[in-house]
Structure 1
């Protein structure tokens, strides 16, 4: 029995919190469209099956810089039309779409393309329009804005390189205003980026939903003049993950569906040999578990944080990678995260506990709070290493701390101060990654697993800001 057609489209967000992105499934009870799908398309297919709808159209707002798309594979698997900007130079067949083109999805649902350059030159937003009945007038109900207008911000304009940033930031301002002027206040704003993604510029806070009317009142791109907004946006741009450089070419080439079959099991001798050879063996467990006992030479990228973002940022691209996890499910979750950024090949995996992974003595290091750091400085000299980004450090840091942003640590190991190193970040996740890097090199390290904003100054530590 078929699902009845709805008069208002149902819009289902598909969150990928570790990358800070959303994809969307929108349907009328019979047919569905998908916008900016992630690589692991089985999630989308399962949602469509649960809703009893058939995916007939897949849309890309832009050639993504922060993940490998699942759009081409999803279209192939479902027989859907795959809409990519006609101006994008891609190596596969697609349904070319351009500004103001309208795609009739059903008698009561259609999609209109709106050129919104700024995040990229060829960026499109898509207005989802609905009619109460066949033959009735269509009205916008939502707009899929990709990396254009976000909640309280916009997509960043610098991912195509410094030479294009000034032009793109001005395009971004104009695009935000086009959306605000063309669409009614009630239109839901449905961005792809802005939930922790490094593709966003400006603060999107904790907002999870918004409308054009709300953005007109609160988004600086719509409340400030062009000159001030451009200057503020450019001043606020920060580092972004190194793996982004590989995403655009992969998406232009046409990525296939991922292989999510379990990697080959690795035994103790194999793990030891891989560590000795300089390969990456990554422990997925929490930072608490890792600090308490780990295989010497392994690195800790806990699956409980922005795992793929930071692993993709730090790993030299193409380095052989083996995963260690509590369970096969944990390894499978990590594998799913990795294929989203184009790390398709795993050398192997092992599950269990560190005692299952090595015959040697386990490595450990202390986990402490900022109060412990304040106390120990009265008794002996320790070196403080701050691995937050430079902008975070400039906003406020422990007075004598050395700043080496986490993404620079591997190339700046020689800059780590000699002696006992107490490493911290904003909340503990990045500090554990850094501590594992240092411990693997035989450096005496202590990880500060604490909130800098809440507890560093409160512990009596001297806080300085950039001059």
Structure 2
């Protein structure tokens, strides 16, 4: 019996897959921390013989070369990708035998990238599943604009054609296993679905229900910003990244942390926004491990800036390290854990305020405050608070001077992004209150789109 084991990376919105017939296994789109594939393979006494890459990824550093080296597996990459490492080139229509009960057929499905491949898993002469990478997603497709505006229209049209190729060539009961689409910015839209089939997508996915013109126009109109760190992923993946170093980082005392802050380095507090608000090292930024930590840190940090990590426990430091190597931030400059008073060397802790949308509404009746909305442009267009200043979080560091003087109440959709923004403002010496609330609770006060 064939088993498909998803390996989820929820903070990046991706899935990798370990597929086995009980003795032999192959992997699709492995993340950088390959121990997540090696450990279950060893525990089940499986031999990984093949690794398949659907495309040169833009949102994470691949673990493909390192996994192939560790296992001796053949590493399959599109023959047209200009990679600079040893691999097994694969083309549209190629069939790879993976043991006596599994074979994999490559299908060219450009759209997310020019050289994107999907892989059809066949057993007993039947199509069992298709691994669609960034092509056909659950209720959506991969976004076509990551290679730049000169390619976007052509890739969007290619996405429409190749999704239909999958629907035309595969039976309705073929299971669909995408890599992106679980919160990844590589997805053009998001869906709550956790599994699907070709037949289900045929009925519900816009790429299969709309004609090319409507699909392309709707798709392109809905695209918004994506993380800046994406620009660094493709070059790394073309070079063939090695296995990451997840050993413990050097420990920093209060004096070292203070020096790093003075030198313009980033000191990142991984605790929850409530813990950060109650007391933190002044100048530190709050990227909690309870959200999309790596995505937003990679998006906002000037690339190459040294990062030091602060957390309650060493295990949380290790978790953050793992998240960071997935996006190519190889080693923290230093780290510290324990009570935050130890990070200041006995100096007083800094604080920020926390509030709700109801409390914000009450405050605005009594005094003038600035309301700063750090959501994305598409969120702002749908509805927003009257009189709010809008600066998307990914633009805030370069636009801090646009935030009016005085008390600032900053909000997003859930509180995670507003906590990051609040820490930026606090580090800049501003008086700030973070709205730790769901935007649905702002409904009585919002101005909706016409």
TM-score category of the 2 structures, normalised to the smaller one: over 0.9
Once the two structures are superposed, what CA deviation does each residue of 1:34-67 show, in whole Å capped at 9, x if it has no partner? 0000000000101111222110000000000000
Q: Tell me, in whole angstroms, the C-alpha distance in 1 between the residues paired with 2:446 and 2:159.
A: 40
C-alpha distance in structure 2 between counterparts of 1:303 and 1:68, whole Å: 20
SS of residue matched to 2:89: strand
Q: What is the distance in 2 between the residues matched to 1:307 and 1:463?
A: 30
1:463 aligns with 2:450: no
Displacement after TM superposition at 1:155 (Å): 0.2
The corresponding residue for 1:243 is 229
Partner of 1:330: 316
| 1:385–1:424 contact (8 Å) kept in structure 2 | yes
Tell me the equivalent position of 1:434: 421
| 1:114 and 2:114 matched | no
**Equivalent in the alignment of 2:3:** 10
Output the CA distance in 2 between the equivalents of 1:442 and 1:414: 12
2:17 to 10, 21, 24: 24
Q: 1:211-360 to 2 correspondence within 5 Å?
A: 211-358=197-344, 359-360=346-347
Partner Cα distance (1:211, 1:417) in 2? 51
CA contact (8 A) 1:141 1:187 kept: yes
Per the alignment, in what secondary structure is the counterpart of residue 201 of structure 1? coil
Q: Number of residue pairs matched?
A: 449
Alignment partner of 1:389 is 2:376: yes
Cα distance between partner residues in 1 of 2:158 and 2:68: 30
Q: Tell me the TM-score normalised to structure 1 length.
A: 0.95
CA contact (8 A) 2:134 2:180 kept: yes
Query: How far, CA to CA, are the matches of 1:251 and 1:334 in structure 2?
Result: 21
- TM-score scaled by length of structure 2: 0.99
| 1:105-145 superposed Cα distances (whole Å, 9 cap, x missing partner) | 011100000000000000000001112xxxxxx11100000
Cα distance, 1:272 vs structure 2: 0.7
Does 2:387 correspond to 1:405?
no
SS of equivalent to 1:112: strand
CA distance in 2, matches of 1:173, 1:247: 25
The alpha carbon displacement at 1:249 in A equals: 0.2
Q: What is the distance in 2 between the residues matched to 1:102 and 1:172?
A: 23
Quote how far apart the aligned CAs of 1:278 are.
1.0
Q: Deviations over 1:246-286 (max 9, x none)?
A: 00000001100000000000001000111111110000000
Q: Tell me the residue number matched to 1:139.
A: 126
CA distance in 2, matches of 1:220, 1:303: 34
Residue of 153, 169, 173 corresponding to 1:166: 153
> What residue in structure 2 maps to residue 418 of structure 1?
405
2:383–2:446 CA contact under 8 A, matched in 1: no
How far off is 1:464 after superposition? Answer: 4.1
Verify the 8 A CA contact 1:399 1:464 in the aligned structure 2: no
Shift of 1:353: 1.6
Distance 1:272 1:229 in 2: 52
What is the correspondence of 1:186-201 to structure 2 with a 5 Å cutoff? 186-201=173-188
The Cα of 1:417 is off from its aligned counterpart by 1.4
Aligned residue for 1:70? 63
Q: Distance in 1 between matches of 2:337 and 2:4?
A: 38
CA distance in 2, matches of 1:184, 1:40: 34
Alignment check: 8 A CA contact 1:30 1:54 kept: yes
> In the alignment, what sits opposite 1:81?
74
How far residue 344 of structure 1 moved from its aligned partner, in angstroms, is 0.2
- Which stretches in structure 2 are left out of the alignment for 5+ residues? none
Name the CA distance, whole Å, in 1 between partners of 2:198 and 2:446.
Answer: 44
Q: In 2, Cα distance between the equivalents of 1:259 and 1:349?
A: 15
Separation (CA, whole Å) in 2 of partners of 1:437 and 1:366: 14
Task: Say what the alpha-carbon RMSD is for the aligned residues.
Answer: 0.7
Contact 2:127 2:171 in 1 (8 A): yes
**1:77–1:307 Cα change, 3 Å:** same
Q: State the shift of 1:366 in Å.
A: 1.2
